[in-house]
Structure 1
Amino acid sequence: MSDNKGKRTDPVVQPSTRERILASTLSLFNQKGPEAVTTAEIAKAVQINQGNLYYHFRTKESLVLALFSRFEADALALVKEADAVEGADSKAYAGFLRKWFSLVWIHRFLFRDIPGLLAIAPGLRAPILMVSGGMRLSVDVIFQRMEDADLINVAAEDRKTLLTNMWIVSTYWAVYLGLQEGVHDLGPQHVHWGLSQVASLLRPYLSPKARADLEAMLSELFT
């Protein structure tokens, strides 16, 4: 039996009240949508009073903007990861697409409820445009790397249209499901459906190797 006398254990770091507020708000927004969640519900979930909640976040808009800031940081980290990919690694590029949709799943209220979000948080419009522009630029760079590695072949006149359509589908697929199919409670299968729609746009332009890696990625379902 080992003797633990004299050994120090690192204290468990508890999340701050602000972090707990954001975690509970994200969960509630994902479950019910921002418009249906009250500040009283958030305070109850965090087990604090509303005065304490208002100390950290005075409005629902400030909560939305803080959560979007987290999403933005995660998206930028994903872009940096993609920048480190070697040119001919088609499996890594397919993985980048999957990781983007995993990020969408974590922050799904941002995509499912975007029309209502802009009414709650008008200040969200500028950050959305900034992230949109940055992500589209990054995907354009990835396309160029894939073309240089003979993994994709897109005519110059079609490239901008393809990038635009990919962004539209990857951003608004959840809105489509809500409006056209009546799906408001998103599950992993719906995220996989959105991923498959974007993949269908790419598939005709991919080399056999890149297409095989794309299909292998699609065979793994979200959980």
Structure 2
Amino acid sequence: MRDAEPASKAKRARHGVSTRDRLIAVALKLFTERGPDRVTTAQIADAAGINEGNLYYYFKTKQALVLVIFDRFEAEVDRLLESPRRDSADPAAYATFLREWFEIVWSYRFLYRDFMSLLATAPELRRRIRAISARLRAPVKTLMGHMRAAGLIAISDEELDALLANVWIVSTYWVVYLDVQEGVRALKKAHLEWGIKQVSSLFTPYLTPLAREWLDAQAATT
């Protein structure tokens, strides 16, 4: 299969993207549309415009493709966590953080929607998903603490922990809910906005007059 390498270099020169990156992009698209269980390596290769033998030069198995896509998902999470906004009491900081997290889940939604089936072939994903959850919960809790200190939410420590858990559940598994409960597998951008609205509603009982004034001002400018 070594003869695949020169071919990939030629394609890279023509298309400005490496064959490996194109395979990853195509696999992500097909996994999102159909689910990994319904996609074969032959279909991925065909959609990428190469033969299946060339695909195996880069990825020996479909599982290897899933793991590389998960690596990219983790990189997106790392980028989000490096944002300095989590140290701000500005309510816009939380809104931006939440939207960016939803955008990441949206882009890699098959990882959550098809998580149980993925575990059958890549059981190490369970540990990695848990690690991401732990890393994300900390900055979200910090943001909530800043909002409380700034007088934007009135909430006890016990209520804050419960709110954090509910925010995490909804913001992470809204894709699963829509698939299982509502039968929506082909998600659209409108569903992303729906998910953000569900999380935002969790804060309603705790918003102070100051926070409501900010929300009214935001609504007036949109």
Q: What TM-score, normalized to structure 1?
A: 0.84
Report the CA distance shift for 1:169/1:33 in structure 2 as closer, same or farther (over 3 A).
same
Distance 1:212 1:24 in 2: 45
CA distance in 1 between counterparts of 2:77 and 2:49 reads: 30
Partner SS, residue 82 of structure 2: helix
Q: Which residue of 1 aligns with 2:9?
A: none
Partner of 2:108: 107
- What are the within-5 Å matches in structure 2 for residues 64-213 of structure 1? 64-81=66-83, 83-84=84-85, 87-211=88-212
* Maintained 8 Å contact 2:81/2:139: yes
Determine if contact 2:170/2:198 at 8 Å carries over to the other structure. yes
**In terms of mean alpha carbon deviation, does 157-166 or 13-22 score higher?**
13-22
Structure 1 unmatched runs, 5+: 1-10
Give 1:163's aligned amino acid.
L
Take 2:182 and 2:54, find their aligned partners in 1: how far apart are those partners? 40
Who is 1:4 aligned against? Answer: none
Tell me the residue number matched to 2:7: none
Q: CA RMSD in A?
A: 2.4
Partner of 2:117, secondary structure, is helix
Q: Does 1:20 align with 2:60?
A: no
Q: Please say which of residues 50-59 and 129-138 is displaced more in the overlay.
A: 50-59
Match among 30, 51, 55 for residue 57 of structure 2: 55
Change (3 A) 1:147 1:57: same
Cα distance, 1:152 vs structure 2: 2.1
Q: Which has the higher helix share?
A: 2
Q: In the aligned structure 2, how far is the partner of 1:26 from the partner of 1:171? A: 19
| Paired position in structure 2 for 1:7 | none
Shift in alpha-carbon separation, 1:91–1:198, aligned structure 2, 3 A: same
Of structures 1 and 2, the one scoring higher in RCO (CA 8 A, sep 6+) is 1
- 1:91/1:210 contact within 8 Å kept: no
- Does structure 1 retain, via aligned residues, the 8 Å contact 2:112–2:175? yes
- Whether contact under 8 Å (1:91, 1:214) holds in the other structure is no
Specify the code of the residue in structure 2 equivalent to 1:196: K
What's the % identity of the aligned pairs? 49
CA distance 1:17–1:161, shift in 2 (3 Å): same
Q: String of CA shifts for 1:5-28, please: whole Å, max 9, x gaps.
A: xxxxxx998221111111111111
Deviations 1:31-51 (Å, cap 9, x if unpaired)? 111111111111111112222
- Name the structure 1 match of 2:34: 32
